[in-house]
Chain A
Amino acid sequence: MCRAGFKVIFMVSKVDNEKCLRCGGCVSVCPVDCLLLDEVEGIAVDAKKCTSCGICVDFCPVGAFSIKKED
């Protein structure tokens, strides 16, 4: 809850690693450097850094990203 009493909902990008092809392209476009590629696991998002700008969503060739509410 913020001061005015509104609930602040943080949006972050989420990856579907079942779809991800581990190509690493998104890592190079994220402006705040919050994506990490693991050859096996796929993409991990650093939710603390993500600004939910959506650039990775636009870029991903297979549409593995979506912007969702933070858990």
Chain B
Amino acid sequence: MLFKNEYDVVIAGAGPGGAAAARKCAEGGLSVLLLEKRQEIGAPKRCGEGLGLSFVNHLGFKGNEGFVTNMVDNACLVAPNGKEIMAEFPDDKGCILERKLFDKALCYKAAEAGAKIIAKAKVIDVLKENGKITGIKAKIDGKTIEIKSKIVIAADGVESKIARMAGLDTKNRAQDIDSGFQYEMAGIELKDSNRIYLYFGNDIAPRGYIWIFPKGKTVANVGIGIAGNRKKTAKEYLDEWIETQPKIKKGSIIEVNSGGIPVGGLLKKMTLDNFMVVGDAAHQVNPLHGGGIDEATVAGEISAKIAIKAIKKGDTSDKTLKEYNDLWWKTRGKDLEKIEKYRNLVEKLTDEDMNILAGAVSGTELLDFAVGKGETLVKILMKNPKLFKLARHLI
């Protein structure tokens, strides 16, 4: 048989969150089973594929691996009136990944560390005894199989059902999830293929933005993330915008992607007896720019750290696993909560506000703002009478 019927830890979902948890648990000496419902890990992607080089390094990669298609040095933010603001990435370069290869590379690392991974294996329920999780039920090879484990980690992404089955309320409020749509396009013309472009405006992308993440000289992910409850669908907004961009419009469509981006609703409770939830399934995404690869991975690593500790101690109760909750809130949650507040403000900006903002602040300040360091931006806004009211919301 390919796998055993009992493990220390069973993880559902082999995205970055699940793969990171699996790798760290295995490195810590635990027996680990990682189940992925798709037949090919990483495909199709639901992602613009942008990730900081320092984070790629953190995962033990140099950045010259096959899954890094291109490096970017800076971002160009385009205001509704067309004003372009340049922002250099201060101490980091950005990588544009091939997510499929990247997700697989993370799984190779986990397998090397000793985790057992199975694709086309769907977790369909959790096992419970006396109300406590004791493992999972999965559909593998057409058969329904029960697998016991001391801990179950749900890393099953935005469509997560497992945490709900376990008893955690992880439903997303409609206003806390962005609707994303993207084309991977080839044969387009880019002004600078080492630069990402972000376009703002309530007419083109209400409560969100359009992005161009270049994967090469003539290839890029061209996508949009917007609030869901709009007149048109994300696809319609993007199609209309592309119509106005002759250099993009002339290209070809290589891949079509869509997805939900949980840009809010951070969970106060992410553990139960013998159970943890990480990544998109726990809404761990930057609420302003929507990036979640790093967040899912960090959460996966923290959950593994606590799983190892709990299993060594012989106590996997909620009381012990709750340390994952506390540690995550301390290291990431606080920042993300602050960024969520920023998002609530940004949502209210009119195009005119955005144009004024674009004239008053630098790109670096805007990038700092997007990662929760809004202090300098506030100081600038306070000095500008027109922007004073915005600043007040930020304090």
Contact = CB atoms under 8 A, between A and B. Distances in A.
Interface of A: 21-29, 31, 33, 37, 39, 55, 58-63
Nearest to A20: B258
A21 B39 contact: no
Interface in B116-155: none
Interface residues of B, number: 31
A61 B382 CA distance: 38
Contact of A63 (B38, B171, B174, B235): B235
Interface in B23-46: 37-39, 44, 46
Contacts of A37: 159
A28 B180 CA distance: 14
A23 B161 CA distance: 14
A58 B235 CA distance: 12
A62 B171 contact: no
Contacts of B157: 24
B116 to A, nearest CB: 21
Q: Choose among A29, A37, A62, A63 the residue with the greatest number of B CB atoms under 10 Å from its CB.
A: A29
A28 B172 contact: yes
24 contacts: A21-B256, A23-B46, A23-B158, A23-B180, A24-B260, A25-B158, A25-B260, A28-B159, A28-B171, A28-B177, A29-B171, A29-B172, A31-B171, A33-B161, A33-B164, A59-B177, A59-B229, A60-B233, A60-B258, A61-B179, A61-B233, A61-B234, A62-B233, A62-B235
B209 interface: no
Contacts of A23: 46, 158-159, 180, 257-260
Contact of B37 (A25, A28, A29, A39): A39
B159 A58 contact: no
B236 interface: yes
B228 interface: yes
Given A29-B171, A33-B161, A61-B258, 20 more contacts: A22-B44, A23-B259, A23-B260, A24-B159, A25-B177, A25-B180, A27-B159, A27-B161, A28-B159, A28-B177, A29-B172, A39-B37, A55-B228, A60-B179, A60-B233, A61-B233, A61-B235, A62-B233, A62-B258, A63-B235
Contact of B39 (A31, A39, A62): A39
A39 B37 CA distance: 8
Nearest to B265: A28
A53 B46 CA distance: 26
Nearest to B238: A61
Nearest to A22: B44
Nearest to B259: A23
A26 B161 CA distance: 12
A55 B260 CA distance: 13
